């Protein structure tokens, strides 16, 4: 019985699409981290002069911006390595990926 052919229907994402995906993932992680750390800070140290919601919001905005920035830059940096490969290197990489699936 012959092996089943694998058909790939999609295209590789552009760098801008990878940038947006990294930004969204980093922002989501940052929001969760900001809620956790902001909530902990309000519970342990009190809300302060700005109030609880504004304090937690500042934690959320700071961590979401930071995580989003670094994840988006990291995803673009990681995606550029395949564009610099020669056709033979791409072929070898494809063979290795198929071997170790």
- pLDDT per position as a tens digit, 64-101: 999 999 999 998 887 765 556 677 877 888 888 888 87
pLDDT value for 75: 87
pLDDT value for 88: 80
pLDDT value for 99: 82
| Segments in 2-100 forming alpha helices (H) | 15-45, 52-79, 87-99
pTM of the predicted model, to two decimals?
A: 0.68
Q: Are 30 and 65 in contact, with CB atoms under 8 Å apart?
A: yes
> Could you tell me the pLDDT band of residue 36, with boundaries at 50, 70 and 90?
very high
Percent of the chain with pLDDT over 90: 53
């Amino acid at each position: 019985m012959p092996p089943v052919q694998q058909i790939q229907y999609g295209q590789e994402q552009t760098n801008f699409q990878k940038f947006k995906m990294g930004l969204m993932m980093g922002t989501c992680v940052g929001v969760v981290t900001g809620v956790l750390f902001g909530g902990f800070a309000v519970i342990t140290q009190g809300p302060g002069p700005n109030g609880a919601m504004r304090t937690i919001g500042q934690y959320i905005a700071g961590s979401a911006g930071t995580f989003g920035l670094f994840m988006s830059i990291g995803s673009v940096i990681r995606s550029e390595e395949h564009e610099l490969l020669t056709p033979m290197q791409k072929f070898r990489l494809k063979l290795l990926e198929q071997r170790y699936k």
